[in-house]
Amino acid sequence: MHVHAFIEEMERLAPPELAEDFDAGRIGLVVEGRPRISRVCCALDVTPNIVKQAVAVSADMLVVHHTPLWTPVTTITGRTAGLMRALLSAEMNLYVMHTNFDRAREGVNDALAELLSLEDISPMSIGCIGSCILTPAQISRRVGGNCRLWGKVKKIGRLAIVAGSGFDTALMAEAQARGADTYLSAEMKHSVARTAPLPCIEATHYALEAPAMQRLSTRMGWQYIDDPPLLRIIP
Amino acid sequence: MHVHAFIEEMERLAPPELAEDFDAGRIGLVVEGRPRISRVCCALDVTPNIVKQAVAVSADMLVVHHTPLWTPVTTITGRTAGLMRALLSAEMNLYVMHTNFDRAREGVNDALAELLSLEDISPMSIGCIGSCILTPAQISRRVGGNCRLWGKVKKIGRLAIVAGSGFDTALMAEAQARGADTYLSAEMKHSVARTAPLPCIEATHYALEAPAMQRLSTRMGWQYIDDPPLLRIIP
Amino acid sequence: MHVHAFIEEMERLAPPELAEDFDAGRIGLVVEGRPRISRVCCALDVTPNIVKQAVAVSADMLVVHHTPLWTPVTTITGRTAGLMRALLSAEMNLYVMHTNFDRAREGVNDALAELLSLEDISPMSIGCIGSCILTPAQISRRVGGNCRLWGKVKKIGRLAIVAGSGFDTALMAEAQARGADTYLSAEMKHSVARTAPLPCIEATHYALEAPAMQRLSTRMGWQYIDDPPLLRIIP
Amino acid sequence: MHVHAFIEEMERLAPPELAEDFDAGRIGLVVEGRPRISRVCCALDVTPNIVKQAVAVSADMLVVHHTPLWTPVTTITGRTAGLMRALLSAEMNLYVMHTNFDRAREGVNDALAELLSLEDISPMSIGCIGSCILTPAQISRRVGGNCRLWGKVKKIGRLAIVAGSGFDTALMAEAQARGADTYLSAEMKHSVARTAPLPCIEATHYALEAPAMQRLSTRMGWQYIDDPPLLRIIP
Amino acid sequence: MHVHAFIEEMERLAPPELAEDFDAGRIGLVVEGRPRISRVCCALDVTPNIVKQAVAVSADMLVVHHTPLWTPVTTITGRTAGLMRALLSAEMNLYVMHTNFDRAREGVNDALAELLSLEDISPMSIGCIGSCILTPAQISRRVGGNCRLWGKVKKIGRLAIVAGSGFDTALMAEAQARGADTYLSAEMKHSVARTAPLPCIEATHYALEAPAMQRLSTRMGWQYIDDPPLLRIIP
Amino acid sequence: MHVHAFIEEMERLAPPELAEDFDAGRIGLVVEGRPRISRVCCALDVTPNIVKQAVAVSADMLVVHHTPLWTPVTTITGRTAGLMRALLSAEMNLYVMHTNFDRAREGVNDALAELLSLEDISPMSIGCIGSCILTPAQISRRVGGNCRLWGKVKKIGRLAIVAGSGFDTALMAEAQARGADTYLSAEMKHSVARTAPLPCIEATHYALEAPAMQRLSTRMGWQYIDDPPLLRIIP
């Protein structure tokens, strides 16, 4: 498949016009490799480990959620030089789907809703709300464990979910106004927790977003490369 | 004591010129109450619960680390109306020391270093580095427990500490350049964790900053009001 | 009446979408008090004297034209602390209608036009133009006296009126283009007077805007509180 | 005298570095005419009438306080075309001294202080404060009459004066802090009057600034051209 | 003809709404002279020489492509004073058509296409592309000679032309995408030449734009004043 | 030699603090390769051809004047991907000296002054002025031929030179004020030529800057790679 055809297919899956403005120039074909695509790998991030594995299987294309070139650069040094050398030397393409995939059908939030068996789902400006039959402990286990509960998390009825870093004051107000009683996302900040209108479940960013990349890989016949951050809790 | 004299004393303890530029207009006397100060309460944040306790003991002054008026307002409604009504009706003063107290002698980072028994301390642009004889588990217990370890935290030699939200890429590079082998702060973000040059210990924002307010209260003969966020972990 | 119902009624009288962009966040419910509204006071400004009178009659709501929180604040001290303490302690609501009421039907400019018995009225982008049978001296008496005449004010045919601070070069050009021969507003500036294309009558800001608040109070059965600035002329 | 020598002399009288930042590019030689200066006229503003009189006496140079090109232009049309045609056709130079002359020795504020017989003068960041033996009525007469008194103007002890448009909240706070009990300036605004910490006397902009140009003309042997705005009061 | 009628006619020829945003305030009647227009001169620029010739034939109106007041001014001195004195003293009007005339029918790019006998013309966002039967040497002769050829200019098929300073990377990419094989414009920069996707022919800005003014003059019965920059090449 | 030592040496030759602000982040080590430097190539630009030659001789380091990453990027595609792939695959370092080398001793302008045998040299804010015994034709031959002469270039006494794109109105005024009678630079623009206070000689950007890189290579024992843009003139 030619890279142009591959890009067209990706744009059907995650239309670029769904992306937030801040993603302008940071999604789509981020590193250009060879024009023929036979083997595709997929991951959440671009880590040295992931690129190494993709090179090892001679992938022509790596599809990820998080671009390695977020801040615009005028130099290619250090960690960026390492990643770019590995990708460019292998003539591998790098394709990024970010907030456009968050919002896409069967995208990041849809995959999370499915993972948590949510029902009667209604959308929010980002993420969604659904009826949840799981307990907080069951939710925690499904998203990798060790969740933090902020506030009095009781029996969950309607759960708002925002994959990624979604503990935002305005979004939480929206969730409450739309009938949510509990809010699940990642990367809680103290100042937000202090004024949160809802009890919150905090998972890791990786645990909330990786499932979508994994499911996409299965659906497309790609090879998913798992590389969660090394994390543990000490009591 | 007149409120002017009280302010002078506070400015000796935490000189306003030590504050970051973003604190301009957000530290010092944030709410003006009666001019005579007899009874002082102290806390980390301004929560409804804390204000209620301060009112209950007829405090004339509440000293905190985090202002309740961070974003400039043109209306006083909702939660802000509740806080301001409670403070103003009681004619209580509210005094804020933020990044100036982070950097002050015996301030937020000094108190944390003492809590962790650091030695041979050298300063960073924010926070500091010291020799640490505690294990990660001991550190976790001293800062409230349930710390998250990111990366391979091994035997700690030189520990960099930044109280509050200090997992910043540039600061972490500074810590590494100054010889730290482990980094302690709060509010880790996924994108920072992915490129962290050092193993990291993540505590809560509250646990890292409250000790300084507590020690200040003891030193000054004030009443410290503890109000940590309600937080627990489910495996 | 619940405050939400009161707000809805106010938004019918002075639709927020009529307001200038600079009023964003500065109109509507500016200070939140108790949710039940039985007694309403109305005034042009929020002065200590006006708040005192409103408190004295146990008003639940004060409706004004000029917000006391124009410049966004991160502290509540001095005069603002005094006003906010009085309002919040009394659990009084404060509702502001500014440029939306200037432009509303039966709003500030309509009330002024009626006060001056204008006829054949046609609108301007702000304010309006109408045929005027009064002499300058009669106009002066109707708007509180002691008007200043700039330039050669002769027999008036079509009078442009802009309540408030409306001596603006572009507006005056618009008035001239639409056939006005005289221009009435407040707060003339030297640089504007030097290039004014029309003779001008300058009244006070208060005198031009207070009538609308007074008429609104009569219409709604509210209590109007008059508090003009103390002003006199020495020859 | 060559225009360069004339400019040097002016820069000694009113050093450009005394000017406010907003005057950058708006003071000094604003219109360039012939290089030889024999006859100089002086006025407060550049009005068609003033230029006509200066042309009538064959002036080579017109010195004023207020530039006619305040807003940067990309076209020369209408009133500006008329003024520029008159000046340029006559090869007359136009020299502007603005806030640098406000602050200069024997400049605008000094001339006003002298006109009002102030004594024991101490400077403010703009304008000054002095002991005043005149009554408000006497002051009004000396500055052209018909002054407006805002607030309770009683016996004056220390009078703050700011020639031009000087009713600024921060300046008035400075005046009060420096011991003034009354404040004289021009162009009062309603919002400022409502919160003024001092009783105020409002004269016209012209009446407060013209005396300095007149005295400068006398001192330098220039011809002063008086052209006050046409203004009268109707009771 | 009254100047208003003249302006209306010009706005039909070169509608102001076709202009780039950066031309706002810099096109149309840039200097206002007498209201009656009998004799019109036309040129590319406003040079002292051109104004002198227009004055010599008593023109009431000078129509040009490049405004002499590009950068907004707060002073009229030096070269600008000379030009403005000459125009204003003669009461000559100055009318500017810039990017609106570039894009107008029979405007700058149309005139250039005609000069180069282009056929099968299709538009670009600026300029156009057409089939060209001329050799580079013939093109050079038609646009004043001494063209510079950048890259391998071979037999031309489809020529992109952008009158004025049009060697812009994005425009050149557009030209290539639309099938051009050679690109003609003025003012090549080294950094652009290094990455140009097409061979380029560089003429002078004057040579590419003057023909349109000349043809317009002929069509309208105006007097065209030619004043190319003095330019020659030494081998 | 380690790359750190190499960088130190370069910073002595062309101190980064001499650079213009716009060069921030665009000079120094722009692409990071292997840490050991044995073989150095040098050129003016980074073209595919130059990189190919540097790779062919197994250079570890390429020193250039113009960075290939001027505009900050968030993607590596097209031409940039090609250049970066070639550099990174070869583990070649890329070092950029731009305006710091323009101003350095024996830097770009010094080399040009030497090439033109200038004497009695005095500096300008950028570039310099020197006495010149060459004719325009001789100058043209020394800087690659085919120079364009703008205005009446006569016998040259004091020649201002600004290597690169230096036809700037303010710089030309400075040159004139410092006694220059002729001005040499590259990339003349029509609008600048129309108001130039001095006759000008326009060479190419490459011809004015390449000599410095060539001389530096000779001095340092590096291999200079010449790659001028393909350029010719048709009469």
What whole-number distance in Å separates Cα of residue B171 and Cα of residue B179? Answer: 13
Contacts of D205 in chain C (CB under 8 A): 189-190
pLDDT at D18: 97
Contacts of F149 in chain E (CB under 8 A): 231-234
- Smallest CA–CA separation between F175 and chain A, in Å? 33
* pLDDT one-digit tens code per residue, E28-67: 999 999 999 999 999 999 999 999 999 999 999 999 999 9
> Each residue of C168-207: b (16+ CB within 10 Å) or e?
eeebbebbeeeebbbbbbbbbbbebbbebbbbbbbbbbbb
Do A227 and A47 contact (CB within 8 A), yes or no? Answer: yes
What whole-number distance in Å separates Cα of residue E189 and Cα of residue E165? Answer: 10
* Ramachandran assignment for D179, one of left (phi > 0), alpha (psi -120 to 50 degrees), beta (any other): left
Do E109 and E161 contact (CB within 8 A), yes or no? Answer: yes
DSSP string of E69-117, one letter each residue: --S-BS-B-HHHHHHHHHHHHTT-EEEE--HHHHHSTTSHHHHHHHHTT
Contacts of E72 in chain D (CB under 8 A): 72-74
pLDDT at F154 over 90: no
Q: Beta strand pairing status for D93-96 and D28-31?
A: antiparallel
Contacts of A25 in chain F (CB under 8 A): 74-75
**D/A touch flag: 3 or more CB pairs below 8 Å:** no
Task: Provide the angle, in degrees to the nearest 10, between the axes of the packed helices C108-115 and C205-220.
Answer: 100
Q: Beta strand pairing status for C147-150 and C200-203?
A: antiparallel
- Minimum mean pLDDT range among A183-187, C106-110, D231-235: D231-235
* Residue C235 pLDDT class (50, 70, 90 cuts): confident
What whole-number distance in Å separates Cα of residue B157 and Cα of residue B130? Answer: 8
- Smallest CA–CA separation between D169 and chain C, in Å? 13
Strand arrangement, sheet containing B40-42: B28-31, B93-96, B61-64, B40-42, B223-224
Do B3 and B37 contact (CB within 8 A), yes or no? Answer: yes
Which residues make beta-bridge pairs with D4?
Answer: none
CA separation, residue A191 to residues A127, B44, B209, F58 (Å)? 21, 11, 13, 55
* pLDDT one-digit tens code per residue, D56-97: 999 999 999 999 999 999 999 999 999 999 999 999 999 999
**C/B touch flag: 3 or more CB pairs below 8 Å:** yes
Contacts of D66 in chain C (CB under 8 A): 191, 194
Residues of F with CB under 8 A from a CB of A: 25-26, 28-33, 67, 69-70, 72-78, 81, 84-85, 88-89, 91
Inter-chain contact C31–B77, Cβ cutoff 8 Å?
A: yes
Inter-chain contact A74–F26, Cβ cutoff 8 Å?
A: yes
Q: Which of E112, E139, E137, E116 is nearest to E126 (CA)?
A: E112
* Residue B51 pLDDT class (50, 70, 90 cuts): very high
Do C231 and C143 contact (CB within 8 A), yes or no? Answer: no
* β strands within chain E, DSSP E: 28-31, 40-42, 61-64, 93-96, 119-123, 128-131, 147-150, 158-161, 182-186, 200-203, 223-224, 231-234
**Mean pLDDT, residues E204-211:** 98
pLDDT at B11: 98
Contacts of D151 in chain C (CB under 8 A): 229-230
pLDDT at C153 over 90: no
pLDDT at C154 over 90: no
What whole-number distance in Å separates Cα of residue A209 and Cα of residue B96? Answer: 38
* pLDDT one-digit tens code per residue, C173-216: 999 999 999 999 999 999 999 999 999 999 999 999 999 999 99
What whole-number distance in Å separates Cα of residue C38 and Cα of residue C46? Answer: 20
Contacts of A146 in chain B (CB under 8 A): 148, 233-235
Point out the residue among A145, A150, A151 whose CB comes nearest to the CB of B235.
A145
With 0-12 / 13-18 / 19 or more C-beta atoms within 10 angstroms meaning exposed / middle / buried, residue F71 is exposed
Q: Cα-flanking dihedrals φ and ψ of residue E202, to 5°? A: -110, 115
Do F25 and F43 contact (CB within 8 A), yes or no? Answer: no
Neighbours of B7 (CB within 10 A): 17
* pLDDT one-digit tens code per residue, B138-158: 999 999 999 999 999 889 999
What whole-number distance in Å separates Cα of residue C42 and Cα of residue C62? Answer: 5
Inter-chain contact C81–B88, Cβ cutoff 8 Å?
A: yes
pLDDT at A17: 97
* pLDDT one-digit tens code per residue, D125-178: 999 999 999 999 999 999 999 999 999 988 999 999 999 999 999 999 999 999
Q: Which of B95, B85, B27 is nearest to B52 (CA)?
A: B85
> Tokens 């202002």 identify what position?
B67
pLDDT at D174: 98
pLDDT at C195: 95
Contacts of D30 in chain E (CB under 8 A): 74-77
- Smallest CA–CA separation between D227 and chain E, in Å? 23
pLDDT at F69 over 90: yes
pLDDT at B126: 95
**E/A touch flag: 3 or more CB pairs below 8 Å:** no
Inter-chain contact C147–D195, Cβ cutoff 8 Å?
A: no
Cα A70 from chain centre: 15
Q: Cα-flanking dihedrals φ and ψ of residue B70, to 5°? A: -65, -60
Which parts of chain A register pLDDT below 50? none
Percent of chain D with pLDDT over 90: 98
Longest dimension (CA), chain C: 54
Contacts of C70 in chain B (CB under 8 A): 74
Percent of chain F with pLDDT over 70: 100
pLDDT at E154: 86
Neighbours of A119 (CB within 10 A): 10
Residue at F77: amino acid letter: T
Residue at E73: amino acid letter: V
- The size of the B-C interface in CB pairs under 8 A is 81
> Tokens 């004594």 identify what position?
D119
Question: So what's the ipTM on this one?
Answer: 0.95
Inter-chain contact A74–F28, Cβ cutoff 8 Å?
A: no
Joined tokens for residue C168: 């603006």
- Smallest CA–CA separation between B2 and chain A, in Å? 32
What number of H helices and E strands is found in chain B? 9, 12
Q: Which of B192, B214, B215 is nearest to B202 (CA)?
A: B192
Do D105 and D154 contact (CB within 8 A), yes or no? Answer: no
Best residue in A142, A172, A194, A200 for a mutation probing chain B (most B CBs within 10 Å): A194
pLDDT at B120: 98
Contacts of E34 in chain D (CB under 8 A): none
Inter-chain contact A76–F88, Cβ cutoff 8 Å?
A: yes
pLDDT at D154: 86
- Smallest CA–CA separation between A145 and chain B, in Å? 5
Helix, strand, coil percent content, chain C, rounded in steps of 5: 35, 20, 40
- Smallest CA–CA separation between D2 and chain E, in Å? 16
What whole-number distance in Å separates Cα of residue C184 and Cα of residue B27? Answer: 45
What whole-number distance in Å separates Cα of residue D194 and Cα of residue C67? Answer: 12
Task: Provide the angle, in degrees to the nearest 10, between the axes of the packed helices C78-89 and C48-56.
Answer: 10
- Smallest CA–CA separation between C192 and chain B, in Å? 31
Neighbours of A106 (CB within 10 A): 15
| Closest chain D residue by Cα to residue C78 | D195
Average pLDDT, chain E: 97
* pLDDT one-digit tens code per residue, F167-184: 999 999 999 999 999 999
